[in-house]
A = this chain, B = another copy of it.
Amino acid sequence: MNERRIDVGVLGATGMVGQQFVRQLAAHPWFNTAWLGASERSEGKTYAEAASWRLASPMPGDVERMRVDSCTPGRAPQLVFSALDASAAQEIEIAFARAGHTVVSNARSWRMDPLVPLLIPEINADHLSLLTEQRRTHGWRGAIVTNPNCSTVVLSMALAPLRTLGLQSVLVTTMQAVSGAGYPGVPSLDIMGNVIPGIAGEEEKMESETQKILGTATAAHPVVVSAHTNRVAVIDGHTEAVSVRLEQRPPIAAVIDAFRSFRGRPQELELPSAPPAPILYLDAFNRPQPRLDAERDGGMTITIGRARRCPVLDVKFVALGHNTIRGAAGAAVLNAELMLAGGLLQGD
């Protein structure tokens, strides 16, 4: 599989999430960034001209002089990653799927569609089985696959190992990084030395997406989720304080063991972006912390700590994940790796 890299494209390549895709795909062993699509304003420009690069690592040399195309099917490779805004994604992603492309999307537009997998490969790789029905129903040659909202990824990954312990309900309070709001995103006057309680639409996404992810391909998990979402003065890394009710009332050691022993298809298949273990449980008091722990294993590991009894529900702990990597571009790339390894990208 490693012998020849397959060409891939990026829809919405010039924006903040698009740049993260370009960075995430740089030097990828399986994928070669061969096409970049963006809005009309950027069409025809080189990527260096069109994108106002805002990441700490320099723009990869091989995309600098690549010409940006419009977001219409035709010249793009079979596999395209979508970094489009939800408003643009709704129609463009369908157009690409209809034209035979596999769209691995980070947009929220199709996440809750019953025929679209909302994928976290460690948790619900089997949801890819929806693609057959998706293609048949819509008459598409291509397909759309999505990854969850950045705060949902962290929560779902922490909850997945607890399903076998009788997961019933979850109260989560997030402390989310500003990079999750894109660029220009959160004004500095709003967040420096401050906390913004409430992120529009975020709580609803966490409450519904989590049920879909943890369920089967066709039935949502019955867990009840209640979220308080907050923005804090952090660059990268969403921290989440979680309390859960577990029917089995297991000892804390059993909960920690569930975190530590959790593995999924990406680990079995040794996918290039897969961390050694999806969850790293830290024993130290005061961990995980975004500035110290978000970047572990290339930002693909969820770190958890402080598991202890919750007097109101049953168990409480803190979870952390890198919102623009494990929660966005890295998530989509892992989805594509899973599909390629499973023979689901072999064209039409």
Contact = CB atoms under 8 A, between A and B. Distances in A.
Nearest to A308: B203
B318 A228 contact: yes
A342 to B, nearest CB: 32
B173 A178 contact: no
B285 A235 contact: no
Given A186-B187, A188-B190, A195 B310 contact: no
A253 interface: no
Nearest to A168: B312
Given A241-B197, A295-B56, A312 B169 contact: yes
Interface string A253-293: 00000000000000000000000000000000111111110
A76 to B, nearest CB: 29
A61 interface: no
A175 B175 contact: yes
Interface string A293-325: 001100000000110001111001010000000
Contact of A192 (B196, B233, B296): B233
A207 interface: yes
Contacts of A224: 311-312
A311 B226 contact: yes
A224 B314 CA distance: 12
A310 B311 CA distance: 18
B225 A243 contact: no
Contacts of A184: 184, 187, 189-190
Nearest to A229: B241
A143 B235 CA distance: 44
B310 A226 contact: yes
A165 to B, nearest CB: 17
User: Among the interface residues A193, A243, A295, which one has the most CB atoms of the partner chain B within 10 A?
Assistant: A193
The 3 closest A-B pairs by CB, nearest first: A173-B173, A228-B241, A184-B187
29 contacts: A56-B292, A171-B243, A175-B175, A175-B230, A178-B192, A179-B189, A183-B189, A184-B187, A184-B189, A185-B188, A185-B189, A186-B187, A188-B190, A188-B191, A193-B233, A193-B235, A194-B234, A194-B290, A195-B232, A195-B289, A196-B286, A198-B306, A200-B285, A207-B311, A224-B311, A226-B311, A226-B316, A230-B241, A232-B232
